[in-house]
């Protein structure tokens, strides 16, 4: 069962599961047409969700806090239903924001970090109580599906206007991760017992400066890169009042926000690609390279 099946990571994960001959139940606010390989259910973690069916694995690719709130209720309701078996495995996406925004100067960002950390704790507690193996991923900047709110808008702006302002001196390191690599990680970790009960930071295969990342996006978009002093960026943000990066985001331009991929590489062979700026707007069609896995209901 895949929650957030039409999202950035979901649109890469579903083809992987289907390629292995697995029957997939996709849950989305905007379900797609029914196929032999994918059964679609309409659901929204913030409002109405379908009853949890009998599945072996649940992939949570949407808002973690909403999933952590919904799961105990769904499992309790499932236990009361005849002939319904609880899942034995959960893989869920959180965010590196749980760590990187803990001490942000922006109160809203600190609250987000606390909310994510609390959701992770609730999810692990729920899984332990019910004997479910759970793994949580904390990805860095996700790109590759054209659905993110960070890099994809930059690429669209650059393609439309053929120019992209670049914050001069924004030296903080970034490690953007392709959504397809996160989908592959879900499958790679699924059957590895060393991952049970663990949280993994997942970054891309390349670390680059914030301004260099912008420059790569501009080049891939056939746009002119225009360096802009950071002081001017801050002034413009104050004038924009909510339509531009906040104080916390501006401060992080000088900070390194990277992930240590070593634990994931050691435990389940995580090997993400380097930053592919041409993929930032999203692929023409989603897909990813399949990896070995036994057939099951998901």
Please check the confidence at residue 260 and state whether its pLDDT lies above 70: yes
For the domain 2-142+178-203+258-279, what is the CATH superfamily, name and number?
Answer: NAD(P)-binding Rossmann-like Domain (3.40.50.720)
Q: What mean pLDDT comes out for the span 243-268?
A: 85
Report the alpha-carbon distance of residue 220 to residue 206 in Å, rounded. Answer: 17
Q: What pLDDT is recorded for position 20? A: 86
Q: What are phi and psi of 33, to 5 degrees?
A: -65, 145
pLDDT band at 213 (very low <50, low <70, confident <90, very high): very high
Q: What pLDDT is recorded for position 80? A: 87
Q: What pLDDT is recorded for position 244? A: 52
Report the alpha-carbon distance of residue 2 to residue 11 in Å, rounded. Answer: 10
Average pLDDT in the chain: 89
| pLDDT tens digit sequence for 28-71 | 988 776 677 899 999 999 989 999 999 999 999 999 999 999 99
| pLDDT tens digit sequence for 107-119 | 888 999 999 999 9
Cα–Cα nearest to 75, from 112, 11, 126, 9: 126
Residues 261, 149, 94, 29, Cα dihedral to 10°: -140
């Amino acid at each position: 069962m895949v929650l957030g099946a039409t999202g950035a990571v979901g649109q890469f994960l579903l083809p992987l599961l289907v390629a292995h001959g697995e029957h997939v139940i996709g849950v989305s606010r905007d379900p797609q047409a029914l196929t032999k390989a994918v059964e679609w259910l309409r659901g929204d973690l913030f409002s109405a969700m379908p009853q949890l069916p009998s599945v072996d694995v649940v992939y949570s690719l949407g808002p973690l806090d909403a999933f952590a709130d919904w799961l105990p209720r769904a499992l309790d309701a499932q236990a009361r239903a005849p002939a319904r078996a609880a899942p034995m495995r959960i893989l869920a996406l959180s965010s590196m924001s749980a760590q990187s925004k803990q001490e942000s100067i922006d109160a809203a960002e600190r609250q987000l970090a606390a909310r994510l950390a609390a959701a992770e704790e609730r999810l692990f507690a729920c899984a332990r109580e019910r004997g479910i193996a759970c793994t949580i991923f904390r990805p860095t900047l996700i790109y590759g599906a054209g659905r993110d709110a960070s890099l994809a808008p930059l690429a669209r702006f650059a393609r439309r206007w053929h120019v992209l302002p670049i914050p001069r001196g924004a030296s903080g390191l970034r490690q953007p991760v392709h959504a397809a690599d996160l989908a592959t990680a879900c499958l790679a970790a699924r059957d590895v017992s060393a991952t049970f009960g663990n949280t993994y930071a997942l970054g891309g295969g390349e670390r680059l400066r914030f301004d260099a990342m912008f420059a790569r996006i501009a080049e891939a978009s056939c746009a002119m890169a225009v360096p802009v002093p950071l002081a001017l960026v801050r002034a413009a943000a104050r004038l924009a009042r909510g339509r531009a990066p906040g104080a916390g985001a501006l401060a992080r331009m000088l900070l390194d926000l990277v992930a240590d991929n070593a634990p994931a590489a050691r435990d389940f062979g995580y090997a993400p690609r380097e930053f592919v700026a041409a993929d930032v707007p999203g692929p023409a069609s989603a897909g990813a390279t399949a990896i070995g896995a036994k057939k099951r209901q998901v």
